[in-house]
Structure 1
Amino acid sequence: MYARTPEHASFADAIDAFCRAKTGTRAQRDALTQNGTEAHSPAIYAQMAELGWLGAGISPDHGGSGGGMTDVCLFAERTAYGLAPVGGYITTAVAAGPYAKFGTEAQKEKILGGIARGRVEAIAISEPGAGSDVAALTCRAVRVSGGFIINGQKTWCSNAHLADHILLVARTDPSGSRHEGLTMFCVPTGTPGMEIRGIPTLGGKEVNDVFFTDCFLPESAVVGTVDQAWKQLMAGLNSERLILAASMLGRGRRAFDDAVAYVKERKQFGRPVGSFQALKHRIADLATELDCCELLVYRVAAMADEAPERMLPREASMAKLKTTETAKRVAIEGMQMMGGYGYATEYDMESHLRATVISTVFGGTSEIQRDIIGKTFGL
């Protein structure tokens, strides 16, 4: 567990203790998530809000507890390790960034203050024809008297069904280059003309299609500057990648610890299976890789805290690539070491596998991360 300062160590220890008490058993987690079909528990989230944890990274001027990206990453990591059902946090933490950097004072008070009090926020970027190629998005926002009319479809919108608002990226001017003419909007869920439909997945209720049909948004819904959302979006995506990396660091460590505990207890041929060299060496390799991920994630978080205005595309993509791929490897190896029990829902390893495999896709696939990293070297 990373601890940059004594305060960070105390924060992490408090989260760990909370998770052991509230979400430490399968029975507790099933009761909070309708037997694992929900990724987010409003009850647990509200308790964390009361403790001030959801305000990590948000200025006290807007109801937060302060801190920086290191605090946000610690919260994401330790709640993931503790299997706390707070799936709404990632998109919420990512959405906070554009509002904090580009929002009006009224938007900051409403959105950032709401986050600190336990409200969930979501982001709508991807479309059926614009996933990895974000600049290809076609959802239109046409200016009319007093605001904009939105038409189009967004997809893979995590937590839209839980959110108070959706941070929408739409095309306001199609005449320029693909990276021009994009604008961010704050859309309250329930706005007439917006429909949210869940997409069934292996992870339960997590992602959604969002449809806009002649949906009117007032001028005050604009976040930042009209037609200038590309740079705003890139800053947000880099933060998203780092937060996702921290979350998968926690999940990967949990999968590792679960695997180690199993191979210490499981006996075959008269001895614990973990004592066989083949498994012992796997454990050694995975432990080394996870420590590398931890150093990378928190180095990038420290860089973000030292210079919040920096974009860090190379570093954020490296953290996301390395950590999600490592967490996936840990879960696959863990399932292999546990044999049939790794596939059974009696143990958590099968859920670790589902969570880590998809992490190499959302927030930009591993292939996209490699492409971004390559471009930063002028390739």
Structure 2
Amino acid sequence: MHVRTPEQAAFASAIDAFCRDRTGTRAQRDALTNHGAEAHSPALYAEMAELGWLGVGLPPEHGGSGGGMSDVCLFAERTAYGLAPVGGYITTAVAAGPYARFGTEAQRATILGGIARGRVEAISISEPGAGSDVAALTCRATRAPGGFVVNGQKTWCSNAHLADHILLVARTDATRSRHDGLTLFCVPAGTPGMEVRGIPTMGGKEVNDVFFTDCFLPEDSVVGAVDRAWPQLMAGLNSERLILAAAMLGRGRRAFDDAVAYVKERKQFGQSVGSFQALKHRIADLATELDCCELLVYRVAAMVDEAPEQTLPREASMAKLKTTETAKRVALEGMQMMGGYGYATEYDMESHLRATVISTVYGGTSEIQRDIIGKTFGL
């Protein structure tokens, strides 16, 4: 496994202790999530903000601790392992990047400062006709006196129902190439002309449709440069994919530990089922794969910390691909090893499976990650 600094080891230990105390039992998690219907607990999130953890990757001038990507990944991993219902953190950490890199000082003060204090942020890219093909988006922002008027629909927007702002990607120039003419906008919650409508899923209240009908956004809503959203988004792909990978590393490790605990206790034919070679070898393979994932995630995080301005399409996509697919495999194998109990809501394995299966879809599907990696070899 990767080597942590003494400060990172202490941080991880503090998160683990907090989760054992606050989310260590099913009863505690049910109380925080309305029996699993909510993926995010504002109360628990506020406690983490008080501890200063939510600003781990933010600059000190905006209430953060000035940590790097390795620290952000550590927080995402350990909270996921601890089953802390803070699903709002992932989109918040991803949305923070464009504001930090391209936002005005006022935007950075509002957004980054709010994140450190426990505010949730969201980013809206996908549309009914633009998922993996991001450049196909058609939501329009048309020039108007003093700003822009937005019309169109976004979909699969995680945490839009919780967010203080939505970082919107809209088309501002339809005459340019598919990858040009896109602009980022900061849209405050409750803006007239914007409607957020939840999409029911296996994961509960997580994702939303967002509708824009003659929604006026003032000029100072633009984040970065008009018509330059594509390169701005590309600059943040390292962060998005790494944070998602780190979270699934944590969830995969939790699914693994739960499976091991079960097969040690479950007796059949007069002995623990974990002692049978078929299960013992599965455990050995999964443990090896998870350690490989950890080394990959934190290696790429260290590369980002060394040179934050570089883009790492191959490495970041490898981390996201390998870790999400491995976490899904661990949950599937865990369910198989637990038999019917793995399918029962009494145990956490079924929720591990729901969380890991969707991770291979959002943030760029596994197929898209493979395509990106292939392209870096000139294919």
TM-score bracket for the superposition, by shorter chain length? over 0.9
> 1:185 aligns to what SS in structure 2?
strand
What one-letter code is carried by the residue in structure 2 that aligns with 1:211?
F
Task: State the match for 2:40 in structure 1.
Answer: 40
Cα deviations by residue, 1:205-242 (Å, 9 ceiling, x for unpaired): 00000000000000000000000110111122331111
Task: State the match for 2:198 in structure 1.
Answer: 198
Write the distance in 1 (CA, Å) between the matches of 2:337 and 2:3: 30
> Does 1:274 pair with 2:257?
no
Task: State the match for 2:207 in structure 1.
Answer: 207
Cα deviations by residue, 1:158-180 (Å, 9 ceiling, x for unpaired): 00000000000000001010000
> 2:177 aligns to what SS in structure 1?
coil
Task: State the match for 1:19 in structure 2.
Answer: 19
- 2:237·2:311 contact (CA, 8 Å) conserved in 1? no
Stretches of structure 1 that go unaligned for 5 or more consecutive residues are none
Write the distance in 2 (CA, Å) between the matches of 1:218 and 1:203: 35
> Does 1:358 pair with 2:362?
no
Write the distance in 2 (CA, Å) between the matches of 1:335 and 1:228: 45
Task: State the match for 1:116 in structure 2.
Answer: 116
Coordinate RMSD, CA, aligned: 0.7
What one-letter code is carried by the residue in structure 2 that aligns with 1:89?
Y
Write the distance in 2 (CA, Å) between the matches of 1:108 and 1:4: 30
Task: State the match for 1:95 in structure 2.
Answer: 95
Task: State the match for 1:185 in structure 2.
Answer: 185
Q: How far off is 1:62 after superposition? A: 1.0
Write the distance in 1 (CA, Å) between the matches of 2:173 and 2:7: 47
> 2:236 aligns to what SS in structure 1?
helix
Write the distance in 2 (CA, Å) between the matches of 1:3 and 1:95: 28
Q: How far off is 1:3 after superposition? A: 4.2
- 1:3·1:9 contact (CA, 8 Å) conserved in 2? no
Task: State the match for 2:76 in structure 1.
Answer: 76
> 1:141 aligns to what SS in structure 2?
strand
- 1:237·1:363 contact (CA, 8 Å) conserved in 2? no
Write the distance in 2 (CA, Å) between the matches of 1:254 and 1:72: 19
Task: State the match for 1:311 in structure 2.
Answer: 311
Write the distance in 1 (CA, Å) between the matches of 2:348 and 2:35: 13
Write the distance in 1 (CA, Å) between the matches of 2:183 and 2:303: 28
Cα deviations by residue, 1:268-310 (Å, 9 ceiling, x for unpaired): 0000000000000000000000000000000000000000001
Write the distance in 1 (CA, Å) between the matches of 2:247 and 2:302: 16
Cα deviations by residue, 1:7-37 (Å, 9 ceiling, x for unpaired): 1100100000000000000000000000000
Task: State the match for 1:378 in structure 2.
Answer: 378
Task: State the match for 2:232 in structure 1.
Answer: 232
Write the distance in 2 (CA, Å) between the matches of 1:280 and 1:209: 44
What one-letter code is carried by the residue in structure 2 that aligns with 1:198?
G
Which shows bigger deviation, 235-244 or 266-275? 235-244
> 1:169 aligns to what SS in structure 2?
strand
Q: How far off is 1:4 after superposition? A: 2.4
Write the distance in 2 (CA, Å) between the matches of 1:71 and 1:373: 25
Task: State the match for 1:106 in structure 2.
Answer: 106
- 1:138·1:152 contact (CA, 8 Å) conserved in 2? yes
What one-letter code is carried by the residue in structure 2 that aligns with 1:306?
E
> Does 1:10 pair with 2:7?
no
Q: How far off is 1:2 after superposition? A: 4.5
Task: State the match for 1:242 in structure 2.
Answer: 242
> 2:235 aligns to what SS in structure 1?
helix
Task: State the match for 1:60 in structure 2.
Answer: 60
Write the distance in 2 (CA, Å) between the matches of 1:339 and 1:263: 10
Write the distance in 2 (CA, Å) between the matches of 1:268 and 1:74: 38
Write the distance in 2 (CA, Å) between the matches of 1:219 and 1:293: 43
Over 3 Å counting, the alpha-carbon distance change for 1:12 and 1:2 in structure 2 is farther
- 2:249·2:294 contact (CA, 8 Å) conserved in 1? yes
Write the distance in 2 (CA, Å) between the matches of 1:21 and 1:336: 30
> Does 1:85 pair with 2:85?
yes
What one-letter code is carried by the residue in structure 2 that aligns with 1:123?
I
Percent identity reads 87
- 1:2·1:9 contact (CA, 8 Å) conserved in 2? no
What one-letter code is carried by the residue in structure 1 that aligns with 2:325?
E
Write the distance in 2 (CA, Å) between the matches of 1:3 and 1:36: 34
Stretches of structure 2 that go unaligned for 5 or more consecutive residues are none
Equivalence map 1:151-162=2 (5 Å):
151-162=151-162
Write the distance in 1 (CA, Å) between the matches of 2:352 and 2:198: 22
Task: State the match for 1:176 in structure 2.
Answer: 176
Cα deviations by residue, 1:170-202 (Å, 9 ceiling, x for unpaired): 000010100000000000010000000000000
Write the distance in 1 (CA, Å) between the matches of 2:144 and 2:185: 15
What one-letter code is carried by the residue in structure 2 that aligns with 1:173?
D
- 1:183·1:227 contact (CA, 8 Å) conserved in 2? yes
What one-letter code is carried by the residue in structure 1 that aligns with 2:155?
T
Runs (4+) off by over 4 Å: none
* Paired residue total: 379
Write the distance in 2 (CA, Å) between the matches of 1:342 and 1:133: 36
Q: How far off is 1:65 after superposition? A: 1.3
Write the distance in 1 (CA, Å) between the matches of 2:196 and 2:311: 32
Write the distance in 1 (CA, Å) between the matches of 2:2 and 2:9: 8
Write the distance in 1 (CA, Å) between the matches of 2:238 and 2:129: 22
> Does 1:262 pair with 2:266?
no
Cα deviations by residue, 1:76-116 (Å, 9 ceiling, x for unpaired): 00000000000000000000000000000000000000000
